[in-house]
Structure 1
Amino acid sequence: MTQKLVAGIEPPYYTAVFTSVRPESPEGYAETSVRMQELVREIPGFLGYESARTPGGIGITVGYFRDLESLESWARHPEHRAAKEYGREHWYESYSVHIGKVERSYGYARD
């Protein structure tokens, strides 16, 4: 899970919201997750991500991208595509992806 929120991004930018249901710790998932985090950071226009999971297995990851081109570059990345395919076959009971354009953004942080 992410402990620090992504903040201070000047709109417009894009989000990819990945919501999934999977078992608590499927074999090979943690290693693949670490690899995906390494790879996405190499995508020009990637701005960060936030992630959370419930004890019941529902997970939400929000990726932030400067533009659609950078988001689509991530979607087409060969290792990312292979991980998605493997996940459908072995890890996920279900998932959904929502792509959005952020036109307004604000936050709060206690000092």
Structure 2
Amino acid sequence: MSMHPEATVAPVEAHEPPYYVAVFTTVRTSHQLGYSDTNAHLEDLVQDVPGFLGMDHAQTPGGLSITVAYFRDADALTEWRRNAEHRAAQKRGQDEWYQSYTLHVAKVERSHGFTRAQVPQSSTAR
């Protein structure tokens, strides 16, 4: 039995460097009213930023959440950082939703990826 769900899940593809990443790591409080709706709205909103390349999310069973957002250049990242709705959500996060967080911004100098080829399953395979 596979430990991985059959759903189509894949990391953001490797892009031609250089580009930028913002790594946002959080531990949330128990006060999450409005968080899910705001998070979904921001995920839609960031896609309108010219130079936005994609986003990966992960969460540990213990409650540590990690979001990695990829941007073509520093200007795209700056545009997102200055977005008024994003700024308002940051303030609300500090006031209500986050016990703690860190933000790391880095310039990617090397990038590559791998995807296993799909092998058709035989009707006799078990």
Flag whether TM exceeds 0.5 (same fold): yes
Aligned match of 1:18: 24
- 1:24 to 1:49, Cα distance in 2 relative to 1, 3 A: farther
CA distance in 1, matches of 2:46, 2:20: 14
Residue from 77, 81, 92 that aligns with 1:86: 92
TM-score (normalizing by structure 2) = 0.82
State whether structure 2 residue 86 is matched by structure 1 residue 73. Answer: no
User: Once superposed, which parts of structure 1, at least 4 consecutive aligned residues long, lie more than 2 Å away?
Assistant: none
Q: Is the 1:19–1:61 Cα contact (8 Å) retained in structure 2?
A: yes
Between 20-29 and 85-94, the greater mean CA deviation after superposition: 20-29
CA distance in 2, matches of 1:25, 1:60: 19
Across the aligned residues of Structure 1 and Structure 2, the Cα RMSD in angstroms comes to: 1.3
State whether structure 2 residue 10 is matched by structure 1 residue 4. Answer: yes
Structure 1 residue identity aligned to 2:36: A
Structure 1 residue 25: Cα displacement: 7.8
Q: Is the 1:11–1:104 Cα contact (8 Å) retained in structure 2?
A: yes
Q: Can you list the C-alpha shifts for 1:5-35, whole angstroms capped at 9, x where unaligned?
A: 1113111100000001014782211101100
Q: Can you list the C-alpha shifts for 1:20-79, whole angstroms capped at 9, x where unaligned?
A: 101478221110110000110000000001001112110000000000000010000000
Mark the runs of 5 or more structure 2 residues left unpaired by the alignment.
1-8, 118-126
Task: Report how many residues are paired.
Answer: 109
Mark the runs of 5 or more structure 1 residues left unpaired by the alignment.
none
Q: Is the 1:22–1:92 Cα contact (8 Å) retained in structure 2?
A: yes
SS at match of 1:50: strand
Structure 1 residue identity aligned to 2:76: S
Give the % identical residues. Answer: 50
CA distance in 2, matches of 1:45, 1:107: 20
CA distance in 1, matches of 2:108, 2:78: 16
